[in-house]
Amino acid sequence: MKIKKIILRHMKLDLLHPFTTSFGTEYDREFILLEAISEDGISGWAESVAMLDPLYNEETLKTNWHILEDYLIPIVLNNEINHPDEISEKYFSHIRGNYMAKAAIEGAIWDLYAKQENISLSTALGGTKKEIEVGVSIGIQDSIDSTINIIENRLAEGYKRFKLKIKPGWDLELIDKVRKVYPTIPLMADANSAYTLSDMDQLIALDDYNLMMIEQPLAYNDIIDHADLQERMKTPICLDESIHSLEDARKAIKLGSCKIINIKIGRVGGLTQSRKIHDLCQENGIPLWCGGMLESGIGRAHNIAITSLPNFILPGDTAASALYWAEDIIEPEVTVENGMITVPTKPGIGYDPHIQNIEKYTISTKVYNKN
């Protein structure tokens, strides 16, 4: 497969509702939308999930633009790609980190590959599911009652699991009151690294609430302390930020740092690495689910495809477009029926780019041609 052109678009979509976590509040989403065009004129699409500020991890929209422009795009334009599986190891492994930048270009080439093979991205990746279960991620609200109101609305829409953002001071009382109203719903908490081992008692107190898991309670780059905590907690720990690679997953499993892993395609460097982590976790009895990064429909489409693999056992964060955006940049938008999304069977990501909306929400564009 020869790529003749890559187009980077700096996009800005306004979130319908501000999204607050332990490290800040997002009111809109600026991100890089990447289009890879083959010599036969087919376009593959993906997005970088890097945020504007280095608060979730060390990558940002600007660092991604630099790495794409100065390193990854020249490699892709100047090499013939036989299969997308080559990209992360044969072509990108000498470049350290920058996983979200790598995932953006690799994902677009995976979409392109699947379209050229006339198969869905799900099929190309080895997906087995025809539909996937999804949950919702609920940010920190201005009151516990607001949180309960959101849960009520999402329950009515059939979502299969409820993730609440927590941080010190917004944790035990929140979970206790939610559990009093909803004693049995599938409930989990995501701390985004807001705690340390000195908060051990606070965290262990969460064991009384039958949570599905607690996501990333400790430092974003820790594996060893999570192992100490998991030894003391009944509630399964799920790692998100700590797992950047297959190696991190191997170490976390070996040390017992977690019982569940949240896969984010961008965080681990792309679809090929996501599938390798999937296979390792399947061999070791570690269930997966697909995390979200407030993606547009393009990123959501990639998340749906990877979630169709068999060890994505738990509901993920890929909720409907309408929960995030007044209008999405794909057609049709991602919709959820009774907590389920049908995995597209069309070639590639299975959703078409909404060119008019892409143009409407594009801040700037840069085209890179094969020289």
Ligand X SMILES: O=C(O)CCC(=O)C1=CC=C[C@@H](O)[C@@H]1C(=O)O
Residues 191-220 within binding reach of Mg ion (CB under 5 A)? 215
Which of 14, 12, 104 lies closest to 363, judged by CA?
12
Find the binder of ligand X among 133, 190, 222, 328 (CB under 6 A). Answer: 190
Q: Is 215 among the annotated ligand-binding positions?
A: yes
Q: How far is the CB of 56 from Mg ion (least distance, A)?
A: 8
Residue 130 neighbours by CB distance under 10 Å: 11
- Of 102, 115, 264, 276, catalytic: 264
| C-alpha dist (Å) from residue 46 to 95, 276, 302 | 20, 20, 8
Under DSSP, is residue 31 helix (H, G, I), strand (E, B) or coil?
strand
Stretch that binds Mg ion, among 41-49, 113-121, 141-149, 187-195 (CB under 5 A): 187-195
- Of 160, 163, 165, 259, catalytic: 165
The binder of 133, among ligand X, Mg ion, none, by C-beta within 5 to 8 A per type, is none
Looking at beta carbons, which residue is closest to ligand X? 292
Does 328 bind ligand X (CB under 6 A)? Our answer is no
Torsion of CA 265, 24, 151, 318, to 10 degrees: -10
Of 68 and 213, the one with the shorter C-beta distance to Mg ion is: 213
Whether 264 is catalytic: yes
Does 190 bind Mg ion (CB under 5 A)? Our answer is yes
Strand partners, 190: 165, 215
324-346 burial, b at 16+ Cβ within 10 Å, e below that, comes to: bbebbbbeebbebeebbbebbee
Report the distance separating Cα 343 and Cα 363, nearest Å: 31
Amino acid at 39: E
Q: How far is the CB of 306 from ligand X (least distance, A)?
A: 14
Whether 254 is catalytic: no
* Site map 239..278 versus ligand X, x via CB under 6 A: -x--------------------------------------
Does 295 bind Mg ion (CB under 5 A)? Our answer is no
Does 291 bind ligand X (CB under 6 A)? Our answer is yes
Tell me the pairing of strands 237-239 and 3-21.
Answer: unpaired
Find the binder of ligand X among 38, 48, 98, 137 (CB under 6 A). Answer: 137
| C-alpha dist (Å) from residue 358 to 29, 35, 219, 318 | 14, 11, 36, 20
Q: How far is the CB of 211 from Mg ion (least distance, A)?
A: 14
Give the tokens for residue 300. 């959501």
Show which residues are catalytic: 165, 264
Interacting residues toward ligand X by CB under 6 A: 21, 56, 137, 190, 192, 240, 291-294, 317, 319
